């Protein structure tokens, strides 16, 4: 039997759960840059390389490589959900402090189906899955709470850092842009009000 490409398998996916299972089996966290793959086996190299070599992958490129950071994977997810008639939104959560920082940031996708909202999560293993909510506000608040909780376990957060937390709702960016251009695009997007 002939092996199918990831694109062929991807094109046969019918449900969000099938998409999540596909990503679990075929898409790893990392990216291709500087003629090599950077993945989670070397997080220090991944962090350094992502600032230097990473460029936002198209869904086709993510499928070709089988790798993507959360930003790349969200674009693959966006592609699937839009092509299957879902209304979806993408968000970026980050701590905006003046100097370079090691506080984690994250991109994720939310979609609406049958009057419910769902947080679709593949990259964040602590919160993996498809989570259901009655409202988009509940979804954003829950994801934010979990992001702050997991960050605080590794990087204790004081009030100043907590006050620097921002959530941006952003539209489809241009593929191929680098880290700096991606951040500029996101930071000029809608800054979601945070309710305490």
> How big is the chain, counted in residues?
196
pLDDT digits (tens, 9 = 90+) for 13-53: 999 999 999 999 999 999 888 888 888 766 666 677 777 88
CA distances from 25 to 29, 66, 149 (A): 12, 10, 28
Q: How confident is the model at residue 6 (pLDDT cuts 50, 70, 90)?
A: very high
Q: CA 72 to CA 182: how far, in whole Å? A: 11
Name 123's Cβ contacts closer than 8 Å, sequence gap at least 6.
Answer: 29, 69, 70, 73, 106, 108
Q: What is the mean pLDDT of the chain?
A: 91
Which two tokens mark 186?
């996101």
pLDDT digits (tens, 9 = 90+) for 121-175: 999 999 999 999 999 999 999 999 999 999 888 888 889 889 999 999 999 999 9
Inter-residue contact 89 to 136 (CB < 8 Å): yes
- Rounded to 10 degrees, the C-alpha dihedral 13/111/163/54 comes to 30
pLDDT at 52: 82
pLDDT at 2: 47
pLDDT at 116: 98
Residue 114 Rama label (left phi>0; alpha psi -120 to 50; beta) = left
Q: Does the pLDDT value for residue 3 go beyond 70? A: no
Inter-residue contact 176 to 62 (CB < 8 Å): no
- Angle between helix 70-83 and helix 16-26 axes, rounded to 10 deg: 150
pLDDT digits (tens, 9 = 90+) for 56-82: 999 999 999 999 999 999 999 999 999
**Cα 184 from chain centroid (whole Å):** 16
Q: Does the pLDDT value for residue 108 go beyond 90? A: yes
CA distances from 20 to 47, 70, 153, 154, 165 (A): 25, 14, 27, 27, 28
Q: CA 6 to CA 62: how far, in whole Å? A: 10
pLDDT at 1: 32
Element (H, E) at 158: none
Q: Does the pLDDT value for residue 110 go beyond 80? A: yes
pLDDT at 43: 67
Is the model more confident about 10 or about 99?
10
Mean pLDDT of 167-186: 95
């Amino acid at each position: 039997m002939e092996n199918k490409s990831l694109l062929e398998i991807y094109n046969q996916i019918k449900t969000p759960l099938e998409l999540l299972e596909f990503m679990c089996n075929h898409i790893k966290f990392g990216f291709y840059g500087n003629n090599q793959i950077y993945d989670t086996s070397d997080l220090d190299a991944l962090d350094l390389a992502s600032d230097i070599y990473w460029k936002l992958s198209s869904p086709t490129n993510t499928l070709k490589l089988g790798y993507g950071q959360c930003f790349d994977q969200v674009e693959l997810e966006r592609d699937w959900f839009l092509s299957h008639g879902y209304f979806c939104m993408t968000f970026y959560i980050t701590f905006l402090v003046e100097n370079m920082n090691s506080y984690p940031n994250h991109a994720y996708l939310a979609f609406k189906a049958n009057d419910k909202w769902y947080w679709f999560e593949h990259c964040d293993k602590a919160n993996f899955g498809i989570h259901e909510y009655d409202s988009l506000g509940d979804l954003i608040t829950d994801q934010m709470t979990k992001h702050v909780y997991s960050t605080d376990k590794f990087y204790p957060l004081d009030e100043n850092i907590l006050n620097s937390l921002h959530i941006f709702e952003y539209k489809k960016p241009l593929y191929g842009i680098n880290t700096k251009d991606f951040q500029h695009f996101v930071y000029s997007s809608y800054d979601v009000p945070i309710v305490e």
